[in-house]
A = this chain, B = another copy of it.
Amino acid sequence: MAGNSFGQLFRITTFGESHGGAVGCVIDGCPPGISITEAEIQKELDRRKPGQSKITTPRKEADTIKILSGYFEGKTTGTPILLIAYNADVKSEDYLELKEAYRPSHADFTYEAKYGFRDWRGSGRASARETLARVAAGAIAQKYLKEKLGIEILSYIDQVGDIKAAVDFETVTPEAIESNIIRCPDQAAAEKMIALVEKVKSEGDSVGGVIQGVIRNVPPGLGEPVFDKLSADLGKGMLSINAVKGFEIGSGFAGVSGRGSEHNDPLEVRDGKIRTTKNDAGGTYGGISSGETIHFRVAFKPVSTIAKEQDTVTRDKRPTKLSAAGRHDPCVLPRAVPIVDAMSALVVMDHHLRHKAQNG
Protein backbone atom coordinates (compact mmCIF):
# COMPACT_ATOMS: atom_id res chain seq x y z
CA MET A 1 0.00 0.00 0.00
CA ALA A 2 3.03 2.24 -0.10
CA GLY A 3 2.46 2.75 -3.79
CA ASN A 4 5.09 0.59 -5.43
CA SER A 5 2.70 -2.01 -6.77
CA PHE A 6 0.54 -1.79 -9.88
CA GLY A 7 -2.24 -4.12 -10.91
CA GLN A 8 -4.49 -6.36 -8.88
CA LEU A 9 -4.05 -9.80 -10.43
CA PHE A 10 -1.06 -9.28 -12.71
CA ARG A 11 0.68 -7.33 -10.01
CA ILE A 12 4.11 -5.79 -10.28
CA THR A 13 6.04 -4.36 -7.35
CA THR A 14 9.01 -2.30 -8.46
CA PHE A 15 12.09 -1.52 -6.39
CA GLY A 16 15.34 0.31 -6.74
CA GLU A 17 16.95 3.71 -6.94
CA SER A 18 19.13 5.09 -9.70
CA HIS A 19 22.22 4.67 -7.54
CA GLY A 20 21.69 1.70 -5.23
CA GLY A 21 22.37 -1.95 -5.93
CA ALA A 22 19.71 -2.66 -8.53
CA VAL A 23 16.34 -1.81 -9.99
CA GLY A 24 13.68 -4.27 -10.99
CA CYS A 25 10.37 -5.77 -10.03
CA VAL A 26 8.54 -8.82 -8.82
CA ILE A 27 5.54 -9.94 -10.86
CA ASP A 28 2.99 -11.86 -8.82
CA GLY A 29 0.09 -13.49 -10.61
CA CYS A 30 1.68 -14.11 -14.00
CA PRO A 31 -0.03 -17.07 -15.66
CA PRO A 32 2.14 -20.19 -15.96
CA GLY A 33 3.41 -21.46 -19.28
CA ILE A 34 4.28 -18.22 -21.09
CA SER A 35 7.31 -18.79 -23.32
CA ILE A 36 9.63 -15.82 -22.97
CA THR A 37 13.37 -15.21 -23.07
CA GLU A 38 15.60 -12.59 -21.48
CA ALA A 39 16.45 -11.51 -25.03
CA GLU A 40 12.82 -10.77 -25.83
CA ILE A 41 12.51 -8.61 -22.74
CA GLN A 42 15.83 -6.95 -23.48
CA LYS A 43 14.56 -5.93 -26.90
CA GLU A 44 11.87 -3.76 -25.32
CA LEU A 45 14.38 -2.39 -22.80
CA ASP A 46 16.71 -1.38 -25.59
CA ARG A 47 13.99 0.91 -26.93
CA ARG A 48 14.05 2.66 -23.55
CA LYS A 49 17.78 2.71 -22.89
CA PRO A 50 19.93 5.85 -22.87
CA GLY A 51 22.37 6.47 -25.67
CA GLN A 52 20.31 4.88 -28.39
CA SER A 53 20.49 7.92 -30.72
CA LYS A 54 21.89 11.43 -31.07
CA ILE A 55 18.72 12.91 -29.48
CA THR A 56 18.83 10.89 -26.27
CA THR A 57 21.24 11.26 -23.40
CA PRO A 58 24.63 9.71 -24.17
CA ARG A 59 24.76 8.56 -20.53
CA LYS A 60 25.72 4.90 -20.16
CA GLU A 61 23.53 2.71 -17.97
CA ALA A 62 23.60 -1.00 -17.35
CA ASP A 63 20.16 -2.04 -18.49
CA THR A 64 20.73 -5.77 -18.73
CA ILE A 65 17.76 -7.67 -17.38
CA LYS A 66 17.96 -10.98 -15.54
CA ILE A 67 15.11 -13.35 -14.65
CA LEU A 68 15.95 -14.86 -11.25
CA SER A 69 12.78 -16.69 -10.23
CA GLY A 70 9.41 -17.97 -11.41
CA TYR A 71 10.97 -19.29 -14.59
CA PHE A 72 11.86 -22.83 -15.65
CA GLU A 73 12.86 -24.34 -18.96
CA GLY A 74 12.02 -21.16 -20.89
CA LYS A 75 8.58 -20.62 -19.43
CA THR A 76 6.91 -18.77 -16.61
CA THR A 77 5.88 -21.11 -13.79
CA GLY A 78 3.01 -19.16 -12.23
CA THR A 79 5.12 -18.23 -9.20
CA PRO A 80 6.66 -14.77 -8.59
CA ILE A 81 9.05 -13.59 -11.27
CA LEU A 82 12.02 -11.49 -10.19
CA LEU A 83 13.29 -9.21 -12.95
CA ILE A 84 16.45 -7.37 -11.98
CA ALA A 85 18.99 -5.01 -13.57
CA TYR A 86 22.05 -4.22 -11.52
CA ASN A 87 23.27 -0.64 -11.27
CA ALA A 88 26.77 0.28 -12.29
CA ASP A 89 29.01 1.55 -9.52
CA VAL A 90 28.92 5.32 -9.32
CA LYS A 91 30.87 7.87 -7.44
CA SER A 92 28.58 9.55 -4.94
CA GLU A 93 30.88 12.58 -5.12
CA ASP A 94 29.39 13.42 -8.50
CA TYR A 95 26.20 14.28 -6.70
CA LEU A 96 27.50 16.20 -3.72
CA GLU A 97 25.97 19.43 -5.00
CA LEU A 98 22.53 17.81 -4.87
CA LYS A 99 23.04 16.82 -1.26
CA GLU A 100 22.29 20.39 -0.25
CA ALA A 101 20.39 22.04 -3.13
CA TYR A 102 16.93 21.08 -4.35
CA ARG A 103 16.59 20.90 -8.13
CA PRO A 104 13.59 22.95 -9.37
CA SER A 105 10.56 20.88 -10.46
CA HIS A 106 12.28 17.72 -9.22
CA ALA A 107 11.08 15.52 -6.37
CA ASP A 108 14.10 16.43 -4.19
CA PHE A 109 12.14 18.75 -1.91
CA THR A 110 8.96 16.68 -1.78
CA TYR A 111 10.78 13.39 -1.02
CA GLU A 112 12.58 15.06 1.83
CA ALA A 113 9.30 16.51 3.09
CA LYS A 114 7.77 13.07 2.93
CA TYR A 115 10.46 10.82 4.37
CA GLY A 116 12.50 13.21 6.47
CA PHE A 117 15.64 12.56 4.46
CA ARG A 118 16.54 11.30 1.01
CA ASP A 119 19.03 9.41 -1.07
CA TRP A 120 20.60 12.39 -2.81
CA ARG A 121 22.58 10.43 -5.37
CA GLY A 122 20.80 11.08 -8.68
CA SER A 123 17.06 11.14 -8.30
CA GLY A 124 16.79 8.17 -5.95
CA ARG A 125 13.48 6.46 -6.32
CA ALA A 126 12.09 9.29 -8.48
CA SER A 127 14.60 8.48 -11.21
CA ALA A 128 13.14 7.44 -14.55
CA ARG A 129 15.44 4.45 -14.28
CA GLU A 130 12.64 2.87 -12.25
CA THR A 131 10.58 2.62 -15.43
CA LEU A 132 12.86 -0.06 -16.86
CA ALA A 133 11.18 -2.47 -14.46
CA ARG A 134 7.81 -1.56 -15.93
CA VAL A 135 9.07 -2.09 -19.46
CA ALA A 136 10.48 -5.49 -18.55
CA ALA A 137 7.23 -6.65 -16.93
CA GLY A 138 5.23 -5.15 -19.75
CA ALA A 139 7.18 -7.20 -22.28
CA ILE A 140 5.91 -10.41 -20.67
CA ALA A 141 2.34 -9.12 -20.62
CA GLN A 142 2.58 -8.02 -24.25
CA LYS A 143 3.80 -11.44 -25.30
CA TYR A 144 0.84 -13.13 -23.60
CA LEU A 145 -1.74 -10.65 -24.90
CA LYS A 146 -0.44 -10.92 -28.45
CA GLU A 147 -0.20 -14.70 -28.55
CA LYS A 148 -3.27 -15.68 -26.55
CA LEU A 149 -5.68 -12.90 -27.48
CA GLY A 150 -4.25 -11.22 -30.58
CA ILE A 151 -4.13 -7.88 -28.76
CA GLU A 152 -1.73 -5.39 -30.35
CA ILE A 153 -0.22 -2.56 -28.33
CA LEU A 154 1.76 0.33 -29.76
CA SER A 155 2.33 4.03 -29.29
CA TYR A 156 4.12 6.85 -31.06
CA ILE A 157 5.05 10.51 -30.83
CA ASP A 158 2.13 12.71 -31.75
CA GLN A 159 3.60 16.08 -30.81
CA VAL A 160 6.95 17.62 -29.79
CA GLY A 161 6.84 21.25 -28.69
CA ASP A 162 4.44 22.83 -31.17
CA ILE A 163 5.08 20.34 -33.98
CA LYS A 164 2.15 17.98 -34.48
CA ALA A 165 2.10 14.78 -36.48
CA ALA A 166 -0.73 13.54 -38.70
CA VAL A 167 -1.08 9.79 -38.26
CA ASP A 168 -3.99 7.36 -38.60
CA PHE A 169 -3.89 5.41 -35.35
CA GLU A 170 -6.01 2.63 -36.84
CA THR A 171 -3.47 1.66 -39.47
CA VAL A 172 -0.06 2.71 -38.18
CA THR A 173 2.49 -0.12 -37.90
CA PRO A 174 5.26 -0.84 -35.40
CA GLU A 175 7.70 -0.66 -38.31
CA ALA A 176 6.60 2.87 -39.20
CA ILE A 177 7.07 3.91 -35.57
CA GLU A 178 10.57 2.45 -35.42
CA SER A 179 11.53 3.92 -38.79
CA ASN A 180 13.09 7.04 -37.25
CA ILE A 181 14.86 7.89 -34.02
CA ILE A 182 12.04 9.96 -32.56
CA ARG A 183 9.41 7.25 -33.09
CA CYS A 184 6.97 9.43 -35.05
CA PRO A 185 5.47 7.65 -38.08
CA ASP A 186 4.75 10.95 -39.88
CA GLN A 187 8.17 11.29 -41.54
CA ALA A 188 7.86 14.97 -42.38
CA ALA A 189 6.86 15.84 -38.84
CA ALA A 190 9.53 13.53 -37.48
CA GLU A 191 12.27 15.45 -39.28
CA LYS A 192 11.05 18.74 -37.83
CA MET A 193 10.77 17.22 -34.38
CA ILE A 194 14.32 15.86 -34.52
CA ALA A 195 15.60 19.26 -35.62
CA LEU A 196 13.73 20.90 -32.74
CA VAL A 197 15.15 18.48 -30.19
CA GLU A 198 18.67 19.07 -31.49
CA LYS A 199 18.17 22.82 -31.24
CA VAL A 200 16.81 22.58 -27.71
CA LYS A 201 19.71 20.30 -26.78
CA SER A 202 22.25 22.80 -28.10
CA GLU A 203 20.61 25.45 -25.91
CA GLY A 204 20.96 23.32 -22.79
CA ASP A 205 17.20 23.19 -22.53
CA SER A 206 14.40 20.62 -22.83
CA VAL A 207 11.07 20.25 -24.60
CA GLY A 208 7.87 18.24 -24.01
CA GLY A 209 5.31 16.58 -26.21
CA VAL A 210 2.46 14.13 -26.54
CA ILE A 211 2.48 10.37 -27.05
CA GLN A 212 -0.46 8.68 -28.72
CA GLY A 213 -1.30 5.25 -27.30
CA VAL A 214 -3.13 2.57 -29.28
CA ILE A 215 -4.50 -0.82 -28.19
CA ARG A 216 -6.15 -2.97 -30.84
CA ASN A 217 -8.32 -6.09 -30.67
CA VAL A 218 -9.27 -5.85 -27.03
CA PRO A 219 -12.38 -8.02 -26.73
CA PRO A 220 -15.58 -6.32 -25.49
CA GLY A 221 -16.13 -6.57 -21.74
CA LEU A 222 -12.80 -5.65 -20.10
CA GLY A 223 -12.85 -3.02 -17.34
CA GLU A 224 -14.44 -3.01 -13.91
CA PRO A 225 -17.15 -0.54 -13.05
CA VAL A 226 -17.32 1.77 -11.31
CA PHE A 227 -13.87 2.87 -10.14
CA ASP A 228 -11.57 0.54 -12.02
CA LYS A 229 -12.83 1.54 -15.42
CA LEU A 230 -10.40 0.53 -18.14
CA SER A 231 -10.09 4.21 -19.04
CA ALA A 232 -9.44 5.23 -15.40
CA ASP A 233 -6.77 2.55 -14.92
CA LEU A 234 -5.07 3.50 -18.19
CA GLY A 235 -5.15 7.10 -17.01
CA LYS A 236 -3.62 6.23 -13.68
CA GLY A 237 -0.96 4.09 -15.31
CA MET A 238 0.07 6.85 -17.67
CA LEU A 239 -0.10 9.60 -15.02
CA SER A 240 2.27 7.52 -12.88
CA ILE A 241 5.03 7.87 -15.51
CA ASN A 242 7.63 10.55 -14.76
CA ALA A 243 6.91 13.95 -16.37
CA VAL A 244 3.33 13.10 -17.40
CA LYS A 245 0.86 15.95 -16.74
CA GLY A 246 -2.20 14.92 -18.75
CA PHE A 247 -4.20 12.03 -20.15
CA GLU A 248 -7.18 12.00 -22.48
CA ILE A 249 -9.04 9.14 -24.11
CA GLY A 250 -10.99 9.29 -27.36
CA SER A 251 -12.12 12.83 -28.09
CA GLY A 252 -10.67 14.01 -24.78
CA PHE A 253 -10.47 17.75 -24.12
CA ALA A 254 -11.33 18.60 -27.74
CA GLY A 255 -14.57 16.64 -27.47
CA VAL A 256 -16.13 18.92 -24.85
CA SER A 257 -17.05 21.56 -27.42
CA GLY A 258 -19.38 19.50 -29.59
CA ARG A 259 -22.95 18.35 -29.11
CA GLY A 260 -24.05 14.97 -27.83
CA SER A 261 -25.75 14.25 -31.14
CA GLU A 262 -22.38 14.64 -32.87
CA HIS A 263 -20.26 13.00 -30.19
CA ASN A 264 -22.30 9.84 -29.68
CA ASP A 265 -20.98 6.84 -31.59
CA PRO A 266 -23.85 5.23 -33.52
CA LEU A 267 -24.09 1.45 -33.35
CA GLU A 268 -24.42 -0.75 -36.40
CA VAL A 269 -24.01 -4.39 -37.38
CA ARG A 270 -20.83 -4.94 -39.42
CA ASP A 271 -19.49 -8.31 -40.50
CA GLY A 272 -22.09 -9.86 -38.22
CA LYS A 273 -20.82 -8.03 -35.18
CA ILE A 274 -22.14 -5.08 -33.22
CA ARG A 275 -19.78 -2.21 -33.97
CA THR A 276 -19.74 1.56 -33.86
CA THR A 277 -19.58 3.66 -37.01
CA LYS A 278 -17.02 5.94 -35.38
CA ASN A 279 -15.03 5.83 -32.15
CA ASP A 280 -14.97 9.19 -30.36
CA ALA A 281 -15.29 7.33 -27.07
CA GLY A 282 -11.81 5.89 -27.53
CA GLY A 283 -12.79 2.25 -27.18
CA THR A 284 -14.74 2.12 -23.92
CA TYR A 285 -18.32 2.86 -22.83
CA GLY A 286 -18.97 3.10 -19.13
CA GLY A 287 -15.29 2.27 -18.70
CA ILE A 288 -15.70 -1.17 -20.31
CA SER A 289 -14.05 -2.06 -23.61
CA SER A 290 -16.31 -2.03 -26.65
CA GLY A 291 -14.13 -4.05 -28.98
CA GLU A 292 -13.13 -0.93 -30.91
CA THR A 293 -9.54 0.34 -30.85
CA ILE A 294 -8.56 2.01 -27.59
CA HIS A 295 -6.80 5.29 -28.31
CA PHE A 296 -5.55 7.92 -25.91
CA ARG A 297 -3.01 10.74 -25.60
CA VAL A 298 -0.43 11.36 -22.89
CA ALA A 299 1.11 14.80 -22.22
CA PHE A 300 4.76 14.97 -21.12
CA LYS A 301 6.10 18.25 -19.76
CA PRO A 302 9.63 19.36 -20.76
CA VAL A 303 11.98 17.40 -18.46
CA SER A 304 13.16 19.41 -15.51
CA THR A 305 16.84 18.47 -15.68
CA ILE A 306 18.51 21.07 -17.91
CA ALA A 307 21.99 22.46 -18.35
CA LYS A 308 20.80 26.05 -18.08
CA GLU A 309 21.37 27.69 -14.73
CA GLN A 310 18.30 27.96 -12.50
CA ASP A 311 17.32 29.64 -9.23
CA THR A 312 16.70 27.41 -6.28
CA VAL A 313 17.29 26.98 -2.53
CA THR A 314 19.26 24.67 -0.27
CA ARG A 315 18.00 22.40 2.48
CA ASP A 316 18.91 25.05 5.02
CA LYS A 317 16.94 27.67 3.09
CA ARG A 318 19.70 29.61 1.37
CA PRO A 319 19.17 30.84 -2.22
CA THR A 320 21.52 29.25 -4.72
CA LYS A 321 21.86 28.41 -8.40
CA LEU A 322 22.04 25.01 -10.08
CA SER A 323 22.78 23.73 -13.56
CA ALA A 324 22.81 20.04 -14.44
CA ALA A 325 26.36 18.84 -14.92
CA GLY A 326 25.52 15.43 -16.34
CA ARG A 327 24.29 14.45 -19.75
CA HIS A 328 20.52 14.42 -19.93
CA ASP A 329 17.70 13.89 -22.39
CA PRO A 330 16.56 17.09 -24.08
CA CYS A 331 13.28 15.29 -24.81
CA VAL A 332 12.18 12.09 -23.05
CA LEU A 333 9.47 11.14 -25.49
CA PRO A 334 11.33 8.74 -27.81
CA ARG A 335 12.45 6.73 -24.79
CA ALA A 336 8.99 6.97 -23.21
CA VAL A 337 7.23 5.16 -26.06
CA PRO A 338 8.05 1.67 -24.70
CA ILE A 339 7.00 2.83 -21.22
CA VAL A 340 3.57 3.83 -22.52
CA ASP A 341 3.35 0.46 -24.29
CA ALA A 342 4.30 -1.30 -21.07
CA MET A 343 1.68 0.51 -18.97
CA SER A 344 -0.96 -0.29 -21.60
CA ALA A 345 0.02 -3.95 -21.48
CA LEU A 346 -0.01 -4.07 -17.68
CA VAL A 347 -3.48 -2.52 -17.51
CA VAL A 348 -5.01 -4.73 -20.18
CA MET A 349 -3.38 -7.88 -18.81
CA ASP A 350 -4.67 -7.14 -15.32
CA HIS A 351 -8.19 -6.51 -16.55
CA HIS A 352 -8.09 -9.64 -18.68
CA LEU A 353 -7.31 -11.73 -15.60
CA ARG A 354 -9.93 -9.92 -13.55
CA HIS A 355 -12.52 -10.56 -16.22
CA LYS A 356 -11.57 -14.25 -16.33
CA ALA A 357 -11.98 -14.51 -12.57
CA GLN A 358 -15.52 -13.19 -12.41
CA ASN A 359 -16.93 -14.04 -15.80
CA GLY A 360 -14.59 -16.56 -17.39
Closest approach, in angstroms, between the C-beta of A135 and any C-beta of chain B?
Answer: 13
The yes or no answer to A82 lying at the interface (CB within 8 A) is yes
Residue ID in chain B nearest A200 by CB atoms: B259
Closest approach, in angstroms, between the C-beta of A115 and any C-beta of chain B?
Answer: 4
The yes or no answer to A291 lying at the interface (CB within 8 A) is yes
Contact between B261 and A205, CB atoms less than 8 A apart: yes
Residue ID in chain B nearest A125 by CB atoms: B79
Interface residues of A in 316-337 (CB under 8 A from B): 317-319
The yes or no answer to A169 lying at the interface (CB within 8 A) is no
- B residues less than 8 Å from A261 (CB atoms): 205-206, 306, 308, 310
Q: Given known contacts A15-B70, A26-B26, A208-B256, what 13 new A-B pairs fall within 8 Å (CB)?
A: A2-B224, A13-B13, A15-B26, A15-B68, A17-B69, A29-B358, A78-B359, A80-B125, A104-B264, A232-B239, A255-B299, A261-B308, A266-B312
Complex formed: what's the CA distance from A232 to B126 in Å? 14
**Chain A 95-129 interface mask (CB, 8 Å, partner B; 1/0):** 00000001011111111011111110000111000
The yes or no answer to A156 lying at the interface (CB within 8 A) is no
Contact between A245 and B251, CB atoms less than 8 A apart: yes
Closest approach, in angstroms, between the C-beta of A34 and any C-beta of chain B?
Answer: 11
Contact between B20 and A68, CB atoms less than 8 A apart: yes
**Chain A 234-268 interface mask (CB, 8 Å, partner B; 1/0):** 01110110100111111111011111111111111
Contact between A267 and B225, CB atoms less than 8 A apart: no
The yes or no answer to A22 lying at the interface (CB within 8 A) is yes
The yes or no answer to A274 lying at the interface (CB within 8 A) is yes
- B residues less than 8 Å from A255 (CB atoms): 208, 245, 299, 301-302
- B residues less than 8 Å from A267 (CB atoms): 102, 104, 109, 311-313
Given A28-B5, A109-B274, A247-B239, does the pair A15, B69 have CB atoms closer than 8 Å? yes
The yes or no answer to A150 lying at the interface (CB within 8 A) is no
Find A359's partner among B31, B226, B317 (CB 8 Å cutoff).
B31
- B residues less than 8 Å from A281 (CB atoms): 105, 245
Interface residues of A in 75-103 (CB under 8 A from B): 75, 77-82, 102
The yes or no answer to A47 lying at the interface (CB within 8 A) is no
Residue ID in chain B nearest A275 by CB atoms: B313
**5 residue pairs A–B, Cβ–Cβ below 8 Å:** A15-B68, A32-B117, A79-B124, A114-B220, A232-B240
Question: Which of A49-57, A176-184, A282-290 forms contacts with chain B?
Answer: A282-290
Contact between A285 and B239, CB atoms less than 8 A apart: no
Contact between B13 and A253, CB atoms less than 8 A apart: no
**Chain A 293-315 interface mask (CB, 8 Å, partner B; 1/0):** 00001011111111010111100
Complex formed: what's the CA distance from A21 to B109 in Å? 38
Closest approach, in angstroms, between the C-beta of A241 and any C-beta of chain B?
Answer: 9
Contact between A66 and B21, CB atoms less than 8 A apart: yes
